[in-house]
Amino acid sequence: MSLEEKINIVKDILKDKKVAIGFSGGADSTLIAYLSSQVAKDTLAITIDNQLMPKGFVENTKKLAQSFGIKHEIFGIDFNDYEYFLSNDSKRCFNCRNLMYSKIEEIASENGFDFICDGNNISDLVIDRPGILITYEKNFKAPFIEAKLTSKEIHKYLNENNIPYSKSTTCLATRIPTNMQITPEKIERISYCENYILANTNCEIVKVRDLEELGIIEVDKANELLIDDKYNNINDELKGKGFKKVALNLSPIDDDECVDIDYENNSFSYKLPFTINLENTKRQLEKVISDDGEKIELGKITIFEDGLIEGHDLETYEIALNRFMEILPKLRRNI
């Protein structure tokens, strides 16, 4: 299926509806908002300001919503009031999305919008992002998943159609490893360091991982830090904020995620980075042939509890990939 055909599927889903969108101004929610502005009966972008986003986050959402000619609501949540979030356990992103989506649901209902969607795409389902369970639980729509659009395809469409979007909309709390306490001081340090690197290089995406005494820099253009020995000034600046050591991850940030499978002899396999809750997954499936507690058999597809998905007797790579993508939204992971 071509990119344009997938986009048309999304337009058909949104057409003539009153669409409320969880809106961050990143690639995914920007494209949803843009398409909705073209075909929906009415569009409401809802931005949650959780005090944990990169500099300029709220202002960027305002500009984008205004440029699309859509309504825009902004609501603030102070996550410092939620100790279970600050404890930063494995459910952090799940708890965060639950709070934000509950408020989005409330705002949408107050404004008479009953079709609520987010920008999750099909490649999000092969990454360790437990917040997707809230999308399912709240019954939010995910048009990009239905159309089998990947991050790479979304970026391609945005760029080809000159649609502006923010490349930096990920929560700063994600820079702190699980089970390390989140504090306002750590968030402030991360924000300062990322803004310093952005201001002194031509990088567009910057993340500073906070491992207490160690700061790890991730950027989209690592060579930028080597020009004119910029890394010396960056090293000094970050150490001045309390890091004892500063490291550079040489693997560039690449958010053009796609979905590829290992395919050979009419078979494929894919190992997901999380385990599968087989009981919850079975409730989403039709025609389960067998279930032995460790795997589910679906004829040509086998789903293993450890996250392995296998397929066989699938004549082409395209058929196998499409079948895999059909299964992904039905999986229910453990957290």
pLDDT score recorded for residue 104: 96
Span 210-232, pLDDT tens digits = 999 999 999 999 999 989 889 99
Span 24-57, pLDDT tens digits = 999 999 999 999 999 999 999 999 998 889 889 9
Say if residue 12's pLDDT is above 90.
Answer: yes
The answer to whether residue 237 sits within a structural domain is yes
Sign of the alpha-carbon torsion through 151, 119, 202, 184: negative
Residues 68 and 135 in one domain: yes
The answer to whether residue 151 sits within a structural domain is yes
Tell me which residue range forms the domain holding 15: 3-160
Output 105 or 292, whichever has higher pLDDT: 105
- d(C-alpha 100, C-alpha 93), whole Å: 11
Residues 37 and 81 in one domain: yes
Say if residue 252's pLDDT is above 90.
Answer: no
Residues 313 and 209 in one domain: no
pLDDT score recorded for residue 93: 87
Say if residue 245's pLDDT is above 90.
Answer: yes
Residues 90 and 134 in one domain: yes
- d(C-alpha 11, C-alpha 36), whole Å: 7
Residues 200 and 305 in one domain: no
Residues 20 and 129 in one domain: yes
Span 141-199, pLDDT tens digits = 999 999 999 999 999 999 999 999 998 888 999 999 999 999 999 999 999 999 999 99
Residues 69 and 136 in one domain: yes
Instruction: Enter the tokens of residue 295.
Output: 């795997």
The answer to whether residue 225 sits within a structural domain is yes
Note the pTM of the prediction, 2 decimals: 0.92
The answer to whether residue 253 sits within a structural domain is no
**Residues with Cβ < 8 Å from 182, sequence gap 6 or more?**
79, 85, 86, 87, 88, 92, 173, 176
Span 91-110, pLDDT tens digits = 888 888 999 999 999 999 99
The answer to whether residue 168 sits within a structural domain is no
Residues 71 and 7 in one domain: yes
The answer to whether residue 172 sits within a structural domain is no
pLDDT score recorded for residue 133: 94
Residues 79 and 153 in one domain: yes
Work out the percent of the chain whose per-residue pLDDT is above 70. 100
Q: What is the CATH number for 21?
A: 3.40.50.620
Say if residue 278's pLDDT is above 90.
Answer: yes
pLDDT score recorded for residue 81: 83
Domain count, the chain: 3
Residues 236 and 289 in one domain: no
Strand partners, 269: 262, 310
Residues 125 and 28 in one domain: yes
pLDDT score recorded for residue 287: 82
In which region does residue 179 sit, left (phi positive, over 0), alpha (psi from -120 to 50) or beta (all else)? Answer: left
pLDDT score recorded for residue 151: 95
The answer to whether residue 166 sits within a structural domain is no
Residues 191 and 81 in one domain: no
